[in-house]
Structure 1
Amino acid sequence: MTSSSALFPSRKAVLWFIVSTVWLSCTLAVGAVASNTSEKLARVKDIASIEGIRDNQLVGYGIVVGLQGTGDSQQTTFPTQTLASTLLRMGVSVPAGAIRVQNLAAVFVAATLPPFARSGTKLDITVSSAGDARSLEGGLLLMTPLYGADGKIYAQAQGPLVVGGYAISINGNIKQMNHPNTARVPFGAIVERAVPLDIEGKSQFSLLLNDADFRSAEAVADAINSSLKRSAAHPLDSRRVILSVSPGEEVPAFLAEVESIEVPIYPRAKVIVNERTGTVVIGGRVVLQPVSILHGGLAVNVVSEFQVSQPGPFSDGKTKVVQQTNVDAFDKPVNRIELKQGATVDDLVRSLQTIGASARDVISILQAMKSAGALEAEIEVL
């Protein structure tokens, strides 16, 4: 007869089995969460666009009237010529040389014509001074035709200006806030001609990725096919994905469904450097290799002082100004930074802050690290 201890496991064995099972479940769950969080998702409409469905730029030249003496000066001749031409079209013949006004300004008008805009659609416009006007505050833009790249008129602009700043000049003292020479006119333009764009009946569209990448193009096509449950997309190159519309399927509904699909993205590792402002932006995917950085500097100061050489009394000498130049050179001590295996961007930033590196120093160090092969990322200089 067997003992009960052989048939039934002990309490320690049961407890160990339960703990092991819970630990394994938690490990698998954490691993699944980590794998999911490591993959970034974005909607198709945020990373790509449909070829042919695009904006169009419009520009025009006109005049702004109603300014309170802050318009173009008499040295700027083309505003008066424009005013003379405008008056001539209205039946008033005035020589351009006889016009003496400071309440008008010549401006350029810019607008963006969105896709599928039809006749009567209203657009926002931006008005900027083309002469030496001090401010456009209180001005009224007269009717201005807006031209496309083909030279045709697509919209007409007119309306009161909204200026987000001011400029006051009294007795040579100027007080200015923001940029009073640029203004906006909300819904200030009306579309007169539509850009022909018809998507009805088309069986294929090209999806253009914002950033060219073969892996992203393949991932976008796989996600679209998986969501639509049919082979509706296939990558053509690193930027284009061809979309096929089924016979009888509504094109707007098809494109809307495609644009709402979330797809994995694989952004490039980049370091953005702005030399003018000293701004450095380092992406989170940047990989650092073990490297030792020695950073120092040589500072040279040149100081010029002007002293007066005064001759002695009862002498024939003359008083002269003599320039004294002093040159000082300081060799700064070398600062050392060591990045070991597995170092992150945060470690690099903290180390650079520790040694007191300026933005210019950081730019030089990053470029040197890239040349040494310790920075696995693309450096883009703005």
Structure 2
Amino acid sequence: MIRSFTLLLSLALLVAPAANAERIKDITKVQGVRDNQIVGYGLVVGLPGTGEQSNFTEQSFRTMLSNFGITLPSGSRPKIKNVAAVAVHATMPAFVKPGQTLDVTVSSVGSAESLRGGTLLQTFLKGVDGKVYAIAQGNLSVSGFSATGLDGSNVVQDTPTAGRIPSGAIVERAIESPFSQGDHLTFNLDQPDFSTAMRVSEAINELVGPRTAMPLDGASIKVLAPRDVSQRVAFLALLEDIQVEPADTSARVVVNARTGTIVIGKNVTLLPAAITHGGLTVTIAETQQVSQANPFAPGGETVVTNQSVIDVNQEDSRMFKFDPGTTLDDLVRAINAIGVGPSDVMAILEALKEAGALRGDLIII
């Protein structure tokens, strides 16, 4: 097995990348090798009067003191404007081990004005299974700030109620990974596509040997892998660098109606069609006229009346005819020749799709 694997490593040096090829590691993820989110609830202390006085903050403060054997008199309410209740979260990468550190993000969950200058006390970070995987503590780095004047005016820059603690959490428990289990590895495509899945499978089989990889569906490729963990790591490093040319995506036009951004895929074509575009400019001007009553008329009143002036201007219309198989370049060139804005282009694309002349998906986000 070791001799054959050494031969595979030598063959990898002879693989030449294709013109538009990408590495398998850039278009896939290994199933089971993933990040995990952890979250906790804690207290930030040492704030310069920018904390909060709320019921849950007070309750958390009392619980913290009781853990140290300190009991406040019943009925007393401590002034804790230098304390804020916060949510703490972090992301654990795959294969992280106990003793390693993580960056954590701290965000206020109450009415604290700012976390600037605060210190997070020991906070347990838990996973979805309720187990503690890391413990966070440290001084916050907050980029935003806020300032309040005596007259109630307030100036806020960035976000003063959220900050980070670089390497602020220590991992206490490792997350089990199925990477070293079983006889197979599974690659999941970032963008599922049957053609790409087949190409990845064929590229692996061409390098390693027939029947090593098998596509399961349009998103997953199952690969036979060594059982020994060290050999499996080297085997995966070999597969990740294989060059594969992904299949072309489906023809689509993506329109962002909020920003006016339009992206047209290269496979978008048009059936025979004709487009006419005539711009209408409508101007509505409102003016007010005052009608003064006759000074000698009994019971006369001054009346204010509104007068509307509507002006409609129609620009010269132009018609463009598209022959069969019109490409993206022809479409863009014709639209630019019309000289229309993004909203007009959206209307043209929607009309083409409705008429059945646009070969591609029209996606509006």
TM-score range, shorter chain: 0.7 to 0.9
What is residue 110 of structure 1 aligned with on the other side?
89
Question: Which of 101, 115, 128 is 2:107 aligned to?
Answer: 128
Question: Which segment drifts farther, 311-320 or 356-365?
Answer: 311-320
Q: 2:71: which partner in 1?
A: 93
Moved more, 46-55 or 63-72: 63-72
Question: Could you tell me how far 1:244 is from its partner in structure 2?
Answer: 0.5
The structure number with the bigger radius of gyration is 1
Correspondence 1:38-57 to 2 at 5 A:
40-57=20-37
Q: Which residue of 2 aligns with 1:19?
A: none
Task: Tell me the residue number matched to 1:379.
Answer: 362
Which of 265, 269, 294 matches 2:276?
294
Structure 2 unaligned regions, length at least 5: 1-15
Aligned length: 345
**Structure 2 counterpart of 1:368, one-letter code:** A
2:158 is the counterpart of 1:178: yes
Tell me, yes or no, if the aligned pair for 1:68 and 1:103 is still in contact at 8 Å: yes
Task: Tell me by how many angstroms 1:245 deviates.
Answer: 1.8
CA distance in 2, matches of 1:315, 1:101: 73
Conservation of the 8 A alpha-carbon contact between 2:122 and 2:137: yes
Which residue of 254, 257, 263 corresponds with 2:238? Answer: 257
Q: Deviations over 1:220-263 (max 9, x none)?
A: 00011112244310111111111002566811111111111111
> Does 1:159 find its partner at 2:142?
no
- The answer to whether residue 50 in structure 2 is matched with residue 70 in structure 1 is yes
- Matches of 1:299 and 1:350 in 2, distance apart? 24
**Which residue is equivalent to 2:8?**
none
Question: In 2, distance between residues paired with 1:338 and 1:180?
Answer: 57
For residues 167 and 293 of structure 1, do their structure 2 counterparts lie closer, same or farther at Cα, with a shift above 3 Å needed?
Answer: farther
Distance 1:332 1:61, change over 3 A: farther
The offset of 1:265, in angstroms, is 0.1
Query: Residues 35-59 of structure 1, C-alpha deviation per residue, up to 9 Å, x if partnerless?
Result: x999621111111111111111112
Moved more, 335-344 or 271-280: 335-344
Moved more, 120-129 or 325-334: 325-334
- In the alignment, the residues of structure 2 paired with residue 288 and residue 306 of structure 1 have an alpha-carbon distance, to the nearest angstrom, of 51
Q: Which runs of 5+ in 1 are unaligned?
A: 1-35
Identity rate, percent: 41
Q: Match of 1:137?
A: 116
Tell me the amino acid that sits aligned with residue 363 of structure 1.
Answer: M
Q: Is the alpha carbon distance of 1:380 and 1:135 closer, same or farther for their aligned partners in structure 2, counting shifts above 3 Å?
A: farther
Pair 1:158–1:247, CA change in 2 (3 A) = closer
- Which digits, 9 at most, give the CA deviation of each residue in 1:320-374, with x for residues without a partner? 8957373736464455454455544355445444545333333333333333333
Asked if 2 retains the 8 angstrom alpha-carbon contact of 1:84 and 1:96, the reply is no
Instruction: Mark the CA change 1:218 to 1:139 in structure 2 (over 3 Å): closer, same or farther.
Output: same
**Closer, same or farther: CA 318–111 of 1 in aligned 2, 3 Å:** farther
The verdict on how the C-alpha distance between 1:348 and 1:325 changes in structure 2, with shifts beyond 3 A counting, is farther
Match in the other structure for 1:12: none
Partner in structure 1 of residue 183 of structure 2: 203
1:357 aligns to 2:340 (yes or no): yes
Note if 1:81 corresponds to 2:59.
Answer: yes
Residue 328 (1) aligns with residue 314 (2): no
Distance 1:324 1:368 in 2: 38
Structure 2 CA distance, aligned partners of 1:379 and 1:96?
Answer: 64
SS at match of 2:245: strand
> Are residues 1:59 and 2:39 paired?
yes
Structure 1 pair 183/328, CA: closer, same or farther in 2 (3 Å)?
A: farther
Task: State how 1:276-287 maps to structure 2 within 5 Å.
Answer: 276-287=258-269
How much is the aligned-residue C-alpha RMSD, in angstroms?
3.4
- AA matched with 1:273: V
Normalising by the residue count of structure 2, what TM-score does the alignment of the two structures yield?
0.80
